A and B are shown apart, each in its own frame.
Chain A
Amino acid sequence: MIKLTNIRKAYNQGQHNEFWALNGIDLDIEANKVTALSGPSGSGKSTLLSIVGCMARPTSGRVQLAGRDISGLPERFLTDIRRSTFGFIFQQYNLIKGLSARDNVMLPAYPLGGDWRALHERADMLLDTFKLGHRCHAPVEWLSGGEQQRVAIARALINDPLVVIADEPTANLDTVLSREFLSILESLKQQGKTILLSSHDSLVVESSVVDRVVRLRDGHLPEAAE
């Protein structure tokens, strides 16, 4: 599904605070599987996620999506691919305050300009799936942490992406809510989504939902031969 070849990523390149977040990553991410990136903070998990999700470009190396090299595409095409292929769940949820849960869920679909009525129904359906139907008009800051994350998940799914990317999804959740998240993950897998997440939460890494754990340290894959 996604093939990374010798990915390197530098921040502040050429300046005195130059920092290499990734140092030659080779990785294959299989379709319809849950892949977890694990490692201490600062190991480059988030950077790798943003490169896979077409949010950032690698300094060198190649990213192939379904056999097509996408690392050299201009921003417009990358945005296009990102919109149609990836759904993102962020650690801080990154919901827009003041807007209702439903408005937040619909956001990623706005630039696509599809039928609004259909979009509206899809958003309601997703919110119902995550037991938030009754709160769809509430501003997101009124929701609890778990509810906010479910809104974020619904938002990631609104454009029906092939791949869902989640950055430390359980970092702000207690055990009960984390388990609930894992069951949501399970159902997404059953729907045929490819899932890539980063976590250093043992509850997630050791869960049976996760098919493969990739350990990352200092921008390397120490056990590349896994």
Chain B
Amino acid sequence: MKTWIGKQQALIDFTLSSLSRRKLKNFGLLLVYALIVFLLASVMLFTHALRREAALVLKNTPEVIVQRMVAGRHDLIPPGYIEKLGRIRGVQHIEGRLWGYFYDPVVRANYTFMAPTAGTINEIQIADSEIVIGAAVARERGLEHGNLISFRSYTGKLFVFTVASVLPHDAELVSADLVLLNPADYRAFFGIPADHYTDIALSVANPQEVRNIAAKLSETLPDARLILREEVLRTYESIFNWREGIVLVLLSGSILAFAIFAWEKASGLSAEEKREIGILKAIGWETGDVLKMKFWEGALVSLTAFLLGYVAAYWHVFHFSTALFEPVLKGWSVLYPRFELVPVVDGFQVATLFFFTVFPYTVATIVPIWRAAITDPDAVMRG
């Protein structure tokens, strides 16, 4: 055992001396390799954590949302609609909701205006002409508690509000662009008559009956479109899947370029290297020794690249809030939440990444050596 370790260590010594002859080239390769791992791992860690956070946070979302459609478009819920729903068995709680969008030309941002049903947030009543705003809105408009702000409504009338409070930073991921106001102000601002609502949130007595109840609802109300909680969660699952996919597609060019480069580097045996292998064979190395030596070269380079890239990606995603990917996620948004993701690391994903970064490179290093390594040791004497 001790001899075995001594031997492997000696082979590693040789492969390191051998690598250090072309320091710049090999160091560059390692750096690019680590960068690729870093990008892949960042995408992987970020989307995984975000997907999980979405699932956790949105598990409290209403079980069923009922929208009314007119000619294929959203329309307001007219009076009497809610009463029709109440007659269906199994529906536990019905709530008409008021929310909508407002474009603020000053900062060119979209806000989400919302009136909590009872006009309260955290059991505090939102008074007339008062608003509670999300942290990104406060940041963008430079507002804090007690400030006045005016919005020109879609009717052209100017409304002045007092900022009663700012929603906590911790909840920015779900509330950055919110402007909460009481239902009366909301109706006045958007000109929505009483008894009309944006949509309806339902809760169901028995969660296992959700699908049946939804089916019954759509029979009773043919113009209703129902959105179930599980669909909301699935939407997020797929959004992150395809955004991850887009990034990977964009990355694939560079990954391929690197693969070609690495393949070329690892597998292109120069005449010089062939000669060296011949020398090693001649002075008493076995075919197996040469292959082991090359295995260590591939394994060390790719393992180092994997560890460096992964650790950097972890810091990037969870300590620097994925600063490099922010533009991709932000898109054209003006308001963007500042959030720190809760680190969740999927061991299986890490193992997959490890396998797909370390294994191919190591194989690409060894395989071409095979042919050179089985040459006769006396080839050197003849040549």
Per-residue CB contact flags for chain A residues 81-118 toward chain B (1 = under 8 Å, else 0) read 01100001010001111111001000111111111100
Q: Are B381 and A155 neighbours in the complex by a CB distance under 8 Å?
A: no
**Distance (Å) between the CB of A60 and the closest chain B CB?**
17
Interface residues of A, CB < 8 Å — how many? 34
Contacts of A97 in B (CB 8 A): 21, 272
Task: Decide if B6 is an interface residue (CB 8 Å cutoff).
Answer: yes
- Our pick among B6, B284, B381 for the contact of A167 (Cβ within 8 Å) is B381
Bound: A109/B3 CA distance, A: 12
**Distance (Å) between the CB of B121 and the closest chain A CB?**
71
Given contacts A47-B378, A94-B283, A111-B10, 8 further A-B contacts (CB under 8 A): A49-B381, A82-B377, A96-B280, A99-B17, A103-B17, A108-B283, A110-B289, A112-B3
Task: Decide if A138 is an interface residue (CB 8 Å cutoff).
Answer: no
- Our pick among A47, A94, A116 for the contact of B282 (Cβ within 8 Å) is A94
Jot down 15 A-B pairs with beta carbons below 8 A, ordered by A.
Answer: A47-B378, A50-B381, A55-B381, A56-B376, A90-B381, A97-B272, A99-B18, A107-B14, A108-B284, A110-B289, A113-B3, A113-B4, A113-B5, A116-B9, A116-B10
Given the known interface contacts A110-B14, A111-B11, A111-B289, the answer about A99 and B378 at a Cβ–Cβ threshold of 8 Å is: no
Bound: A114/B3 CA distance, A: 6
- Our pick among B9, B11, B284 for the contact of A83 (Cβ within 8 Å) is B284
Bound: A108/B378 CA distance, A: 15
**Distance (Å) between the CB of A59 and the closest chain B CB?**
13
Q: Are B10 and A46 neighbours in the complex by a CB distance under 8 Å?
A: no
Query: In chain A between 155 and 183, which residues have their CB closer than 8 angstroms to a CB of chain B?
Result: 155, 159, 167
Task: Decide if B382 is an interface residue (CB 8 Å cutoff).
Answer: yes
Per-residue CB contact flags for chain A residues 46-68 toward chain B (1 = under 8 Å, else 0) read 11011000011000000000000
Bound: A96/B279 CA distance, A: 8
Q: Are A114 and B284 neighbours in the complex by a CB distance under 8 Å?
A: no
Task: Decide if B334 is an interface residue (CB 8 Å cutoff).
Answer: no
Contacts of B356 in A (CB 8 A): none
Contacts of B9 in A (CB 8 A): 113, 116
Q: Are B381 and A111 neighbours in the complex by a CB distance under 8 Å?
A: no
Given the known interface contacts A88-B282, A113-B5, A115-B6, the answer about A50 and B378 at a Cβ–Cβ threshold of 8 Å is: yes
CB-CB nearest 4 A-B residue pairs: A113-B7, A98-B21, A50-B378, A83-B284
Contacts of B143 in A (CB 8 A): none
Q: Are A111 and B17 neighbours in the complex by a CB distance under 8 Å?
A: no
Most buried by B among A46, A47, A55: A55
Q: Are B6 and A56 neighbours in the complex by a CB distance under 8 Å?
A: no
Bound: A79/B282 CA distance, A: 9
Task: Decide if A28 is an interface residue (CB 8 Å cutoff).
Answer: no
Q: Are A46 and B381 neighbours in the complex by a CB distance under 8 Å?
A: yes
Bound: A155/B283 CA distance, A: 9
Per-residue CB contact flags for chain B residues 1-41 toward chain A (1 = under 8 Å, else 0) read 00111111111011001100100000000000000000000
Task: Decide if A76 is an interface residue (CB 8 Å cutoff).
Answer: yes
Which chain B residue lies CB-closest to A156? B283
Task: Decide if B261 is an interface residue (CB 8 Å cutoff).
Answer: no
Q: Are B376 and A107 neighbours in the complex by a CB distance under 8 Å?
A: no
Contacts of A116 in B (CB 8 A): 6, 9-10, 13
Which chain B residue lies CB-closest to A111? B289
Bound: A50/B47 CA distance, A: 62
Task: Decide if B286 is an interface residue (CB 8 Å cutoff).
Answer: yes
Interface residues of B, CB < 8 Å — how many? 31
Chain B residues with CB under 8 Å of chain A are 3-11, 13-14, 17-18, 21, 272, 276, 279-280, 282-287, 289, 376-378, 380-382
Chain A residues with CB under 8 Å of chain B are 46-47, 49-50, 55-56, 75-76, 79, 82-83, 88, 90, 94-100, 103, 107-116, 155, 159, 167
Contacts of A103 in B (CB 8 A): 14, 17
Q: Are A112 and B21 neighbours in the complex by a CB distance under 8 Å?
A: no
Q: Are A79 and B284 neighbours in the complex by a CB distance under 8 Å?
A: yes
- Our pick among A55, A56, A111, A159 for the contact of B7 (Cβ within 8 Å) is A111
Contacts of B286 in A (CB 8 A): 75-76, 79, 111
Bound: A79/B288 CA distance, A: 11
Contacts of A55 in B (CB 8 A): 282, 376-378, 381
Bound: A115/B17 CA distance, A: 19
Which chain A residue lies CB-closest to B11? A110
Contacts of B18 in A (CB 8 A): 96, 98-99
Q: Are A75 and B381 neighbours in the complex by a CB distance under 8 Å?
A: no
Which chain B residue lies CB-closest to A95? B279
- Our pick among A90, A94, A99, A111 for the contact of B284 (Cβ within 8 Å) is A111
Contacts of B381 in A (CB 8 A): 46, 49-50, 55, 90, 167
Most buried by A among B3, B5, B283: B283
- Our pick among A46, A88, A113 for the contact of B283 (Cβ within 8 Å) is A88
Contacts of A155 in B (CB 8 A): 283
Q: Are A107 and B7 neighbours in the complex by a CB distance under 8 Å?
A: no
Which chain B residue lies CB-closest to A57? B376
Q: Are B10 and A113 neighbours in the complex by a CB distance under 8 Å?
A: yes
Bound: A159/B4 CA distance, A: 18
- Our pick among B280, B287, B380 for the contact of A75 (Cβ within 8 Å) is B287
Bound: A56/B7 CA distance, A: 25
Which chain A residue lies CB-closest to B289? A111
Bound: A114/B283 CA distance, A: 16
**Distance (Å) between the CB of B22 and the closest chain A CB?**
8
Contacts of A159 in B (CB 8 A): 284
Bound: A99/B376 CA distance, A: 23
Contacts of A95 in B (CB 8 A): 279
- Our pick among B6, B276, B378, B382 for the contact of A96 (Cβ within 8 Å) is B276
